[in-house]
Amino acid sequence: MPIEFSKPLTAHVTSIPGVVIYSLPVHGDNRGWFKENWQREKMMALGLPDFRPVQNNVSFNEKAGTTRGIHAEPWDKFISVATGRIFGAWVDLREGPSFGAVFTAEIDPSQAIYIPRGVGNAFQTLEDNTAYTYLVNDHWSADAQEQYTFLNLADETAAIAWPIPLAQAELSGKDKAHPRMAEVRPMQDKKTLVVGADGQLGNALRKLYDGDSSVEFAGRGDFDLTSADSFGNRNWKNYAAIINAAAYTAVDHAETSDGRAASWDINVTAVARLARTAVEHNLTLVHISSDYVFDGVRDLHHEMEPFSPLGVYGQTKAAGDAVVSVVPRHYIVRTSWVIGQGNNFVRTMASLAERNIQPSVVNDQIGRLSFADDIAAVIRHLLDSGADYGTYNFSNDGDPQSWADIAADVFELKGKPRSAVTGVSTEEYFKDKDAAPRPVHSVLALAKIKATGFVPPSSNERLAGFVAAEAGQGTEVP
């Protein structure tokens, strides 16, 4: 069958999620033909993932009818034919709803196909002297081979219609011995690692991903971000994403000598290690930012506003954001006034209300609450939806409020009069106290996250539910 010359480069989706077949432009004349077998820029423009290939392999097959597979390897592959023609068969052997899906096609040098990790690959040569090429994004190793998943070429469930019956084809003994579908162990997805998993956000993520074996949680005792050894003792090839839920958040203590060093160590140096790991292993890095990267002069903060931190904590968060921004696959989720499990402002106000204590609360800092459960939900949304990488503001929605307004809401929800809360200025509240400077305006613009299809829940509704569900515990009033 002659090669069709000068086809445009086009992508065609298949019946297996993530498997895409490409028509390649082949230019030929009386001397032979030439093609761009792999052209990163053009193929990415068509939607091919930037899977960063590192090794190219060629399988030469002397006779028509040579049949190889079905092998699912723990890496992605871009497959094409250098010479000859093949009948290709691909079976989804990944854990999930598409397990067992089959796609077949005849491939000549004018076509190529992208096969994601865990999809079984097999082919049968239709011409003598056929060369089958693989461009892969991991190096072969004996350890990696232990992660392979196999399916028998003759499996009745897959029911592949081989052009040359297998009884007449050339097969290896190993391929003949592979298991049937009912005995196949599906290849598990790469994992997401949550570091700093014992804090407010970490606990919210634990609750959100409860029962999901593809998400792994590591508290400080499991993964010390301040130690380089933690990064060297893990096989990053088994991961797709890291969620950094760790941060140094002692805003006032960060202004001290010890606190300054600790804040830079956790919020910058450790983040740089995470960023390097993400770049080296092509991982998605999710990082949590703060309204403290701004000075609060503007009434509304957009994602692209230049950094203008007032204190050490804000300076380290801004530096961490700058580091993460160079990771090709990153999400920076910028939040404000976080409320979650453990000690927090709302718990404090609820406790004071229960004890009939009438507090003075700052009334000239304006912002919105961000409930940890909703921050966790927006992280999952970004990862699952494939939203464009970059920085996204997130808080709960509703009218901006002062801390005193929120305190009065809590008192009212506890059946106490709003007048029990007295508003005071930041200057008056922190008079004669060692305190870090705070941004006066912390309201974050939410249009960008809404454009991805995520609707931030109302702060008032979340506050009412939180107060109803949580017992009061004491913490410092801002």
Neighbours of 351 (CB within 10 A): 18
Known active-site residue 134? yes
Per-residue confidence at 1, pLDDT binned at 50, 70, 90? Answer: low
Q: Where are the alpha helices (DSSP H) in 240-333?
A: 257-264, 270-281, 312-324
Answer whether 108's CB lies under 8 Å from 35's CB.
no
Per-residue pLDDT at 190 exceeds 60: yes
Single pTM value for the model: 0.88
Distance CA 444, CA 396 (A): 10
Per-residue confidence at 303, pLDDT binned at 50, 70, 90? Answer: very high
Answer whether 208's CB lies under 8 Å from 341's CB.
no
Residue 432, pLDDT score: 84
First to last CA, the chain: 76
Q: In CATH terms, is domain 10-183 a member of 2.30.40.10?
A: no
Q: What is the percent of the chain where pLDDT is above 90?
A: 86
Residue 7, pLDDT score: 84
Answer whether 288's CB lies under 8 Å from 333's CB.
yes
Per-residue pLDDT at 354 exceeds 80: yes
Per-residue confidence at 15, pLDDT binned at 50, 70, 90? Answer: very high
CATH code of 191-469, in short, is: 3.40.50.720
Query: Which pLDDT tens digit goes with each residue over 384-442?
Result: 999 999 999 999 999 999 999 999 999 999 999 999 999 999 999 998 888 999 999 99
Query: Which pLDDT tens digit goes with each residue over 129-180?
Result: 999 999 999 887 766 667 889 999 999 999 999 999 999 999 999 999 999 9
User: What ranges make up the beta strands (E) of 321-467?
Assistant: 330-335, 338-339, 360-362, 366-367, 370-371, 390-393, 401-402, 422-424
> How many residues appear in the chain?
478
Of the candidates 22, 114, 132, 134, the residue annotated as catalytic is 134
CATH 2.60.120.10 intervals, the chain: 10-183
Pick the closest to residue 17 from 238, 215, 189, 237 (CA basis).
189
Of the candidates 71, 253, 281, 381, the residue annotated as catalytic is 71
Per-residue pLDDT at 477 exceeds 70: no
Residue 323 tokens read as 């580091």
Distance CA 46, CA 38 (A): 13
Per-residue confidence at 474, pLDDT binned at 50, 70, 90? Answer: very low
Q: What is the tally of helices (H) and strands (E) in the chain?
A: 14, 25
Per-residue pLDDT at 473 exceeds 50: no
38: alpha, beta or left, given left = phi > 0 and alpha = psi -120 to 50?
beta
Per-residue pLDDT at 476 exceeds 80: no
Answer whether 19's CB lies under 8 Å from 11's CB.
no
CATH 3.40.50.720 intervals, the chain: 191-469
Residue 233, pLDDT score: 83
Known active-site residue 148? no
Which helix or strand (DSSP H or E) is residue 348 part of?
Answer: helix 345-354
